[in-house]
Amino acid sequence: MEATGMQESMETTSVFSESEIAEMENLFRQVGKEALTQEFCKDLAISFSSSTCRIGKPDISWGQVDSWFQDKQKDSLAFPNASISRKVPETSIVYKGGTATEIAELAFEANSSRDNAWYDVGTFLSYRVLSTGELEARVRFAGFGISHDEWVNVKNRIRERSIPLEPSECHKIKVGDLVLCYQERLDYAVYVDAHVMEIQRRLHDIKGCRCIFVVRFDDDKTEEKIQLDKICCRPR
């Protein structure tokens, strides 16, 4: 390494990139502290080090990952309510909506390779690092049994939950937004990604939002006019 001592000491707090920190923050919320083993940190260090984003930068050692998690644990002991519970209550269901407290419990959704639809994650079961260096999580979807468990790419196919909107919040949706839409077809109904193409604002009445949202589904590029109750927005 050519770095001068000065730079090195300034960078000790930021050996990780922003996206690596985001990934660790996610993992920290998802797995219990029992899961943060040396093996786990080694896998993660390998995953980070072999990422194309790291080309030209020093490798990450498992010790660096380990100490990041240890610091994080100390913080979370100091602020126990800051970390999101990973226990999902039995009452939480597959569909979006529900009360604010239920939503807070369900922090993540994952994209199923079966139908390319998004489902709430009930439990993160384990992790593995592929030979490509990519991290996958085995997830149990909320409301589904073991037969629906899937390995899901952590970076691309797991994200923070989409948020259902109250009628008074319809103005939060803008043309061009990525939204999660309830797509009803003859033999199935799932939540899939779509983009808002056009919004026909209407006066709200006693039933709430009457606005019409023209969305184009990302998958098959079909367009549909739907109402707010079938749309969840992405957290900003």
Residues at the contact surface with Zn ion, assessed by CB under 5 A: 170, 209, 211
Q: Give 20's strand partners.
A: none
Is 211 or 214 the residue whose CB approaches Zn ion more closely? 211
Which two structure tokens, joined as six digits, stand for 46? 């390998």
What minimum distance in Å lies between the beta carbon of 28 and Zn ion?
Answer: 38
Separation of alpha carbons 85 and 41, rounded Å: 21
Q: Based on CB atoms, which residue is closest to Zn ion, 103 or 211?
A: 211
Tokens 């193409």 — which residue?
A: 197
Neighbours of 161 (CB within 10 A): 20
Token pair, residue 26, equals 């996610």
CA distance 190 to 182: 6
Cα 89 to the center of its chain, rounded Å: 19
Using alpha carbons, select from 89, 41, 44, 93 the residue that is nearest to residue 67: 41
Q: How near is the Cβ of 227 to Zn ion at its closest, in Å? A: 9
Pick 2 or 205: Cβ nearer Zn ion: 205
Based on CB atoms, which residue is closest to Zn ion, 117 or 194? 194
Structural Rg of the chain based on CA atoms: 21
At closest approach, how far in Å is the CB of 198 from Zn ion? Answer: 14
CB of 155 to Zn ion, least distance (A): 34
Question: How many Å apart are CA 69 and CA 28, to the nearest integer?
Answer: 7
Nearer to Zn ion, 125 or 211 (CB): 211
Q: How far is the CB of 99 from Zn ion (least distance, A)?
A: 21
Structural element, H or E, at residue 73:
helix 62-78
We find the least distance from the C-beta atom of residue 230 to Zn ion, in angstroms, to be 13
Residue nearer to Zn ion on the CB measure, 207 or 221:
207
